[in-house]
Structure 1
Amino acid sequence: MTGQPERLSCGNHAVTYILPLYRGQPGELDNLPRYLGEVLDWAAVMVVDGSPPAVFEQHARLWPAGVDHRPPQHACLNGKAAGVMTGLAAAHTELLVIADDDVRYTAASFRRMVGLLETADVVRPQNYFTPLPWHARWDTARTLLNRALGAYFPGTLGVRRSTLLAAGGYDGDVLFENLELIRTVRAAGGTEISAPSLFVARLPCSARHFLGQRVRQAYDGFAQPWRLAAELALLPAAVLGWHLRRRLLAAAGLLAIGLAELGRRRSGGRAVFPPSSALWAPVWVLERAVSAWVAAVLRLTGGAPYGGGRLKTAGHSLRALRRRHRAGSPTQASVAPPGTPLTRAAAQIR
């Protein structure tokens, strides 16, 4: 593990880039080390790595000089939250950019993120996939529908360290951890900026990993009950439409495409989302119609599989978090004493 890196500036600001990481087996990191070398020109870089010791050591040899590489020191069920909370405690800058390992900023998008943090406590940009294999186009339809509804949650956030610390951190025993972070900041009185025109690239996962995420992403709906209710209604509505009037299903498919196209056109989205993306919307809606019910069964049987265990709570409501903040209750993410081994679930950052 290297020491705390020298704080680097982006404009007039000092920023820390926090990257939670987990790899279960030794292997290549693609272009991640080279990318982090670029990020070092804009910010201090901290990689919180929950990988097994042998993999951790392999990673340490790959990072460019100046990367702060350390294991998680927070014990919680969501490994990514453990990484973020470790970075939050260790960082020495007010402005933080938290990003998954598949996120790829450019210098311009990073500067804009930092600029938005001048007037906000948390900033939510817009991810887009590049390149676009078939499963990334499928998932892009989800992105477009969420853009149309104003409810997209990316794999990267900008946050003010003092605000999140004042809130006591955020609960790391939830599945939808980025929504939990945003709501925690808001519950503590912080301001949020949703920036649908701040486009940040994201590398697509493998097709196998994509298929494995379908039910887990549906389970996130338990943090948004009204949305979950609508998704649970999709399958009965589809079955009823099939038996009564199949033209209704065709009309519903066209409606989904139209809504996705609205999301594509919103806030300059046509610059990064190709026209064919909206055509995948009916496929995604059908997928969610089925996976929402599978998620409901998982909820009744102990929660969503995660890191070798189960996570039952998707996220807390804003009202519940405000009550917790007023009461001064601590979050579920607690600091583990140095050298304390974390549980397998806590160490795995997905």
Structure 2
Amino acid sequence: MTRHRRPSPPKAHWLLLSAILAVVAGLLALNVFVAGADGGEDTSPPGPAATVPSSVRHGGPVIDARSDPPATARAHDHTIALTFDDGPDPVWTPRILDVLDRYGVTATFFVTGANAARYPDLVREILARGHEIGNHTASHTDLGATGDARAGLEIRTTDLVLAGTGGVLPVLVRPPYSSTPDTLGDSEWAAVRRLGADGKLVVLSDVDSQDWRRPGVDAIVANATPSGTGGAIVLMHDGGGDRAQTVEALGRLVPGLQARGWQFGTVTDSVGLAGTASAAPVRARIGGRLLVFAVRAGEFVAGTLRVLTVVATALALLRAVLLGVTAAVHARRRRRLPRTTGDDPVTVIIPAYNEREGIEWAVRSALAAGPRVSVIVVDDGSTDGTGAIVERLARARPAVRLIRQENAGKAAALNTGLAAARTELVVMMDGDTVLEPGSVPALVGNFADPRVGAVAGNAKVGNRGRLLGQWQHIEYVAGFNLDRRFYDVLECMPTVPGAVGAFRRSAVLRAGGVPSDTLAEDTDLTMTLLRGGWRVVYEQDARALTEAPATLAELWKQRYRWCYGTLQAVWKHRHAISEPGGAGRLGRRGLPYLLLFQVLLPVLAPFVDVAAVFGLFTGDGLLVLASWLAFLVLQAAPAVVAFRLDREPPAPLLALPLQQFVYRQLMYLVVLQSLSTALAGARLPWHKLPRRGLIEPSPSDRGKR
């Protein structure tokens, strides 16, 4: 409410927040892209082959479509090129390499870009042992069933990864789900032509070991053995699943064929090719290393977010359980608490800065909220005629007093009102708030306990006619007030809301008055009272209707200030964690709950949502989706309990599902922005919201103008 000019917060926190979310989303998208590299073979029958040249269908398995007409080549007689697809794999590739080394055999490994990025050391080991590397696309995509852009991205991405991990740019490509030349269809041939146009040689196979089916070691050996004396390119796998049978079969196949005079070599050596790989230029190596880093970072982020999803769901479950238990305890306990009749003299203090739209209703509702009530309105330098309205009311109502002062802020206005009050019990309320009849006695009745220094009222949204108002109404009932029941039971109430709260004037004055060094003066004052040994309780029957922000922009400003001010207050009172008594209860109960469920959970939630969206496109999508839905249910379930406890009509809960997908995310982003602002060390201005005068007293009081 102050007009004091304060330095505006830097925009760097917004840039930082946007950058973090963009990087996380980008890394998850990259993880989704590479997560498809799961191997496997196509079991569908060959398609039409009207465009495939006969020379290709009946030619050798190495196809050179870089020129027209295309050429094919075979391995030399009595020569075998062992080829392994879908790796590298951290379990099976090293075992296959050991078998090959044992018999002095070299082979060609067609690796996926995803696995090469995951296990760069294996790529280097394959090359160091004298073997050959080929391109098997980035994510094991069927090149015959994808468009030119995706196919090009798959090949270029893998080339870049191999440049970064092995320092080579391979010419050899094996399309996933390919087999022998006679199985080529029109779509596969189109893919071969695209690869040729990009300068690639396509390597199919003469013999398919069928090891991906895991038919047994004997069957793999039989399938991989050439039937004649001509050379052969043999298709096997070192990734994409359990390759134990492949390893065992290889240990029998190689020595058996060597004993019969067969020679083994890479595809390049067996066919007699040249120039099938070249050293990658420096630029490609650097780009490849950056890409490998991004892929591994994406996997780390995806794994971390999966853990965070579980953590967030566990926190939501813990909150639901805590709130359910403490709400039941609170309902039983409050019936046994000592209470007065609530007819003690009370002063209602209303700080006002440009509140002309609602100040009259606020004053009238305060006078009607209980017996023996006087009202002090502190006009904090208003420029809209607020003081004149109160002055008119004061002439007609001796219980109303107006104090004018230069604009100094809400805390200063409250302290002015405290200094002018002559009663021990005071109620502080905002100028946009309307107290319901009986709310003041309900508040005052709690001071029968001499240990009580303050009482939090039940603030509710008054302007709930529109969807945004209904969302805020749900939040007030199911969030703020349900949390206050928890704090009340554990005797660690961190906030008496500025909209409605009662205090012992002497306790506030001994605490130094209303503090002005944080933006959450209500939270700061409440924590100070707790640390001073006073109890702070919650009174659900002290109902007050407050004017909530009417636009998303206004809501953002309000909640941004609230959250930032709360963080300031928590930091200011952090030493309460090691203090005895009420301070210790605040430090060891209230502050951890506040930080867990009002800071940590909102910080985690946007990333959980992002992880859930991207998780739908990965292999564990169902698990992620189930965790996400459980998280939403656990967030929403307390709302039903809260509405019943507050005796609120349940109709607004119909807006709850949409709230979970729009409003909730907005509130989470507010917390993220507040944290980034706090970490940046910026001071946040007050962000005074415009008033529209949307709240009125009950019909019984309207005629008392």
Give the structure-2-normalised TM-score: 0.38
Gaps of 5+ in 2: 1-340, 488-494, 571-593, 616-620, 689-705
Counterpart mapping for 1:1-350 below 5 A:
12-23=343-354, 29=359, 31-36=361-366, 38=368, 42-52=372-382, 55=385, 57-65=387-395, 66=398, 67-72=400-405, 79-119=409-449, 120-132=452-464, 133-143=466-476, 144-149=478-483, 150=486, 154=497, 155-207=499-551, 209-222=554-567, 223=570, 224-226=594-596, 227-244=598-615, 245=621, 247=625, 248-265=627-644, 267-270=645-648, 274-276=652-654, 278-279=656-657, 281-282=659-660, 283-299=662-678, 300-306=680-686
Query: Once the two structures are superposed, what CA deviation does each residue of 1:208-255 show, in whole Å capped at 9, x if it has no partner?
Result: 533432422332451344331222122222222221136243332222
Identity of aligned residues (%): 20
Native 8 Å contact 1:93 1:161 kept in 2: yes
**2: distance between equivalents of 1:39 and 1:262?**
27
SS at match of 2:427: strand
* Deviation (angstroms), 1:95: 0.4
**2: distance between equivalents of 1:93 and 1:209?**
36
Query: Once the two structures are superposed, what CA deviation does each residue of 1:44-99 show, in whole Å capped at 9, x if it has no partner?
Result: 10001113467355334442432211134895xxx221121111111110000100
Native 8 Å contact 1:128 1:272 kept in 2: no
SS at match of 2:381: coil
**2: distance between equivalents of 1:273 and 1:198?**
22
* Deviation (angstroms), 1:40: 8.5
- With 238-247 and 267-276 compared, the bigger mean Cα shift is at 267-276
- With 188-197 and 273-282 compared, the bigger mean Cα shift is at 273-282
Query: Once the two structures are superposed, what CA deviation does each residue of 1:161-180 show, in whole Å capped at 9, x if it has no partner?
Result: 11111222242121111111
Q: Which amino acid aligns with 1:17?
A: V
Native 8 Å contact 2:347 2:373 kept in 1: yes
Residue 318 of structure 1: aligned partner: none
Q: Which has the higher contact order (CA 8 A, sep 6+)?
A: 1
Q: Which amino acid aligns with 1:275?
A: L
**1: distance between equivalents of 2:496 and 2:473?**
13
SS at match of 1:189: coil
Query: Once the two structures are superposed, what CA deviation does each residue of 1:181-234 show, in whole Å capped at 9, x if it has no partner?
Result: 111111111111122344333344433533432422332451344331222122
* C-alpha RMSD of matched pairs (Å): 3.0
Native 8 Å contact 1:113 1:158 kept in 2: yes
Shift of the 232–153 alpha-carbon distance from structure 1 to 2, 3 Å rule, reads farther
Shift of the 53–290 alpha-carbon distance from structure 1 to 2, 3 Å rule, reads closer
Native 8 Å contact 1:264 1:278 kept in 2: no
**2: distance between equivalents of 1:280 and 1:198?**
30
Residue 334 of structure 1: aligned partner: none
Gaps of 5+ in 1: 1-9, 309-350
- With 191-200 and 203-212 compared, the bigger mean Cα shift is at 203-212
Shift of the 238–90 alpha-carbon distance from structure 1 to 2, 3 Å rule, reads same
Native 8 Å contact 2:456 2:539 kept in 1: yes
**2: distance between equivalents of 1:48 and 1:273?**
38
Shift of the 29–113 alpha-carbon distance from structure 1 to 2, 3 Å rule, reads closer
- With 269-278 and 177-186 compared, the bigger mean Cα shift is at 269-278
Native 8 Å contact 2:456 2:496 kept in 1: yes
**1: distance between equivalents of 2:502 and 2:358?**
27
Query: Once the two structures are superposed, what CA deviation does each residue of 1:135-167 show, in whole Å capped at 9, x if it has no partner?
Result: 221112322123343367532110001111122
Query: Once the two structures are superposed, what CA deviation does each residue of 1:106-140 show, in whole Å capped at 9, x if it has no partner?
Result: 33222111111222210012112234132221112
Count how many residue pairs are aligned between Structure 1 and Structure 2. 294
Q: Which amino acid aligns with 2:462?
A: T
Native 8 Å contact 1:72 1:82 kept in 2: no
SS at match of 2:685: strand
SS at match of 2:345: strand
Shift of the 232–45 alpha-carbon distance from structure 1 to 2, 3 Å rule, reads same
Q: Which amino acid aligns with 1:181?
A: L
Native 8 Å contact 1:94 1:160 kept in 2: yes
SS at match of 1:173: coil
Shift of the 272–252 alpha-carbon distance from structure 1 to 2, 3 Å rule, reads closer
Native 8 Å contact 2:350 2:429 kept in 1: yes
